[in-house]
Amino acid sequence: MADISSNFLGIKSPNPFWLASAPPTDKKINVLRAFEAGWGGVVWKTLGSQVKNVSSRYSAVDYGGSRVMGFNNIELISDRPLAINLKEITECVKLFPDRAMIVSLMADNNRESWHELIKKCEDAGAMGFELNFGCPHGMTERGMGAAVGQDPEIARMVVEWVMEKATIPVITKLTPNVHSVVPTGKAVVEAGTNALSLINTIQSVTGIDLDTLVPNPYVAGKSVFGGYCGPAVKPIALKFLTTISQNETTSKVPVSGIGGVSTWKDAVEFMLLGASTVQVCTAAMKHGFRIVEDMCEGLNNWMDEKGYAKIEDFIGKSVDKITHWEDLDINYHITAKINQDKCIHCGLCYIACEDTSHQAINLDYGKPYNTYTIKEDDCVGCNLCKLVCPVDQCITMEEHRVAPEYINWKQWQEQGLPLNDH
């Protein structure tokens, strides 16, 4: 059995799975249920000055019959009185001292407010802070949330205020509503943050009601941009995470990965790209806390299978596998191959390649079943057919190197090799 426990800047948890700062962590009853279910830690719903929420608050993107492939919300930070939150935090820590209790903060934009909030939360028993520089709605209009995260200099200033006061680890949560998360990441690391987390939600419009013509979510005939999250944002989160893991400054601090994590596999992917822990919101909101059981078991089994004894053994292992396009090996070439025994003759590979790729699949008419074969000479090895094929392992990509030696784009040009082979 592998050891899946985590030690994040001294904050220990039995597994690297934390609940992200959001409704699942906004009160004692939820957090106790989460700990009972087995979650390693929570980032308590963001605390700050008193706010008021609207109704409705959420909307989703469904796809191909699956609900909530993407999720968005227009909620604000915790709308419960600070004193109640603090009291409940203390009670939760007392009942589950082995779990990570991080408290998310978004104070008003001045030093005193931050210092006061930090003091109160430390007294309540917080083990670490997460600074919410990411909330893309409601708070930005007040100069908080993403408004801070989008400006590296403001972010640096706020982190400096925080570091003057905090005696426990500080994680800064980055907003993805920027063209790159690195400038803010660098600024806050330089200002002393102990760790980073990303991503918060992405500004979005999930859809429009075609009867009322009002976009979602609907609030008395109007809508606003909501923060997008859930499985749909995972690829974007992984990209932002990679840029943080590859930057000389930001890679010095540990990262908690967030954005679309729903399964142990998603979690492993975040960890392979440099996250030490992962945080989950939407998946828990869709299925409840019980999903953590399979996350722990799946991670454990995978680690055993691959021979990793502890999570540090694989964290970051894929970071250097993402390179620049110019460094890719141009002599590497693959072509598709259809296993005729597995093929169910759906024609999806054919029409994809024929209409939109390289006309590299041959159709032999049959009634009712056509036979499809690859024209190896025309196949550019793009993967499209394999991606659309509904049968597992029916289309495989086989390696046929153009030449044995590595050659990249720059060398190719320098040697004056032919540019167009189609």
Please state, in angstroms and as integers, the Cα–Cα distance from residue 38 to each residue in 99, 100, 151, following that order.
9, 12, 37
According to the binding rule CB under 6 A, does residue 379 interact with ligand SF4?
A: yes
Q: CB of 344: closest distance to ligand FMN in angstroms?
A: 34
Pick the piece of the chain touching other proteins (CB under 8 A) from 5-13, 293-301, 340-348, 400-408.
Answer: 340-348
Tell me how many residues contact ligand SF4 (CB under 6 A): 28
Q: How many CA within 13 A on the CB side of residue 86?
A: 14
- Contacts within 8 Å (CB) and 24+ apart, 321-324: 322/242, 322/246, 322/273
Task: Tell me the window of 31-39, 99-107, 290-298, 371-379 that interacts with ligand SF4 (CB under 6 A).
Answer: 371-379
List binders of other proteins among 370-389 (CB under 8 A): 370
Q: For 281, how many CA atoms within 13 A lie in the half-sphere containing its CB?
A: 26
If the CB atoms of residues 43 and 336 are measured against ligand FMN, the closer one turns out to be 43
Q: Which backbone phi and psi does 24 adopt, to 5 degrees?
A: -60, -15
Interacting residue with other proteins among 49, 313, 329, 369 (CB under 8 A): 369
Which helix (DSSP H) or strand (DSSP E) does residue 72 occupy?
A: strand 66-73
Picking from 55, 43, 41, the residue whose alpha carbon sits closest to that of residue 13 is 41
Determine whether 135 is an active site residue. Answer: yes
Distance CA 305, CA 265 (A): 14
Catalytic residue among 92, 135, 296, 349, which?
135
User: Is the Cβ of residue 205 or residue 348 nearer to other proteins in the bound state?
Assistant: 348
Q: Does 184 bind ligand FMN (CB under 6 A)?
A: no
Q: Which of 322, 391, 403, 417 binds other proteins (CB under 8 A)?
A: 391
By a kind-dependent CB cut-off of 5 to 8 A, residue 361 interacts, out of ligand FMN, ligand SF4, other proteins, none, with ligand SF4
150: contact with ligand FMN by CB under 6 A: no
Stretch that binds other proteins, among 25-33, 77-85, 264-272, 338-346 (CB under 8 A): 338-346
Cα–chain center distance at 390: 26
Does position 363 interact with other proteins (CB under 8 A)? The reply is yes
Burial 361-370, CB ≥16 within 10 A → b, else e: bbeeeeeeee
Q: Measured on CA atoms in the order 352, 358, 359, 360, is the torsion positive or negative?
A: negative
Residues that bind ligand SF4 (CB under 6 A): 336, 338, 343-349, 352-353, 357-358, 360-361, 372, 374, 379-385, 389, 391, 394-395
- Give the active site residues: 135
Residues that bind other proteins (CB under 8 A): 64-65, 344-348, 350-351, 363, 367-370, 390-391
